[in-house]
């Protein structure tokens, strides 16, 4: 697989790689690190777009000249506050209790770049949780699934049973909005369903 012909993924997320494979886009990972700290008074949408742009540009810098690079970032947002990955069991329980019986937003930005050309899309999905009991929250933490998930849940896993309603892109909640991603890739000459 030639890195010039195929997509380079500036992400360690296995879920993003699986989503790209689902639409027939093979990838190679390019390693890059960026500062993902939220800036003071930074709005969630601005944060997600900034981090995604930084990731894709770092990916381009670490890739062969002419390579097409994709990066994405996802934030779970409740009351304009970003809910990151839980620090520990108590933090996860607090987040899940706050999400219980409420609607929140999942913001996912995706960027594709080649050289200095960068195209970015931001997708907002509304997610409503049913009421969660303390026992359910404790059992969910014990499953191990919430530990590395933004907002302390994974819609594609055991956390799916908490979701009463979703309005928008399911794949964006998982980590990559496939409709927008496919359109961006097409603009860079990478089609879905075709091998490199």
Judged against a pLDDT cut of 80, whether residue 102 lies above it is answered with: yes
pLDDT digits (tens, 9 = 90+) for 129-186: 999 999 999 999 999 999 999 999 999 999 999 999 999 999 999 999 999 999 999 9
Residue 108 CA, chain-centre distance (Å), reads 5
Q: What percent of the chain has pLDDT over 70?
A: 96
Burial 108-134 (b: 16+ CB within 10 A, else e): bbbbbbbeeebbbbbbbbebebeebee
Judged against a pLDDT cut of 60, whether residue 1 lies above it is answered with: no
Query: What pLDDT score does 3 carry?
Result: 40
Judged against a pLDDT cut of 60, whether residue 89 lies above it is answered with: yes
52 pLDDT band, cuts 50/70/90, is very high
Judged against a pLDDT cut of 50, whether residue 26 lies above it is answered with: yes
From the list 55, 32, 15, the residue with the least C-alpha distance to 148 is 15
Torsions phi, psi for 183 (to 5 deg): -65, -45
pLDDT digits (tens, 9 = 90+) for 106-115: 999 999 999 9
Positions marked active-site: 73
Q: What percent of the chain has pLDDT over 90?
A: 89
């Amino acid at each position: 697989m030639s890195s010039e012909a195929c997509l380079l993924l500036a992400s360690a997320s296995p879920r993003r790689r699986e989503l790209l494979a689902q639409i027939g886009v093979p990838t190679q990972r390019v390693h890059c690190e960026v500062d993902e700290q939220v800036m003071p008074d930074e709005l969630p949408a601005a944060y997600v777009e900034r981090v995604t742009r930084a990731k894709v540009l770092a990916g381009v810098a670490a890739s062969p000249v002419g390579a097409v690079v994709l990066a994405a970032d996802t934030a779970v947002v409740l009351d304009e506050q970003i809910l990151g990955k839980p620090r520990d069991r108590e933090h996860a329980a607090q987040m899940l209790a706050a999400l219980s019986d409420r609607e929140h937003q999942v913001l996912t930005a995706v960027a594709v770049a080649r050289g200095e050309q960068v195209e970015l899309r931001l997708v907002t999905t509304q997610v409503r949780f049913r009421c969660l009991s303390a026992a359910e929250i404790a059992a969910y933490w014990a499953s191990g699934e919430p530990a590395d998930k933004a907002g302390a849940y994974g819609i594609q896993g055991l956390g799916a049973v908490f979701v009463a309603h979703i309005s928008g892109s399911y794949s964006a909640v998982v980590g990559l909005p496939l409709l927008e991603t496919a359109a961006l890739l097409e603009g860079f000459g990478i089609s879905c369903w075709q091998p490199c």
